[in-house]
Amino acid sequence: MAAEKRSPVLPDAPTFKELGYDLVEGAYRGVSAPPGTPNEIVKALADAFDKVNRNPEFVKKMQEMAFDLEFMGPEEYQKFVADRQVYYAKLLKDVGAIK
């Protein structure tokens, strides 16, 4: 598992860190809006996705499929994407995929 901790769905599957690999990754999914989208629309979308992520039936179904849910608001998500871009660019450079 490329997660910080073992999955409740697969409790016997060790994490990469437990196996000695310093790797934590995820299956990231997000929703983006075009630049210039009014803040009230961005907020409405964020609120709607936050509500879905808190729905007990949805949470249960996602957990059954071994998905860990984590909601990020617009600012947090923007920072996360920017940080991932830097991380992946360095990773690709380190393995010689880009110069």
Residue 60 has pLDDT above 90, yes or no: yes
The answer to whether residue 17 is domain-embedded is no
- What is residue 50's three-state secondary structure? helix
Q: Which pLDDT tens digit goes with each residue over 8-52? A: 888 999 999 999 998 888 878 888 899 999 999 999 999 999 999
Q: Looking at the 3D structure of the chain, how many domains does it have?
A: 1
The answer to whether residue 9 is domain-embedded is no
Question: What length does the chain have?
Answer: 99
The answer to whether residue 13 is domain-embedded is no
Q: Which pLDDT tens digit goes with each residue over 67-88? A: 888 899 999 999 999 999 998 9
Residue 54 has pLDDT above 90, yes or no: yes
pTM of the predicted model over 0.95: no
The answer to whether residue 46 is domain-embedded is yes
Instruction: Indicate the DSSP class of residue 3.
Output: S
The answer to whether residue 38 is domain-embedded is yes
Domain that holds residue 44: 28-94
Residue 99 has pLDDT above 90, yes or no: no
The answer to whether residue 89 is domain-embedded is yes
Task: List % helix, strand, coil for the chain (3-state, nearest 5).
Answer: 50, 0, 50
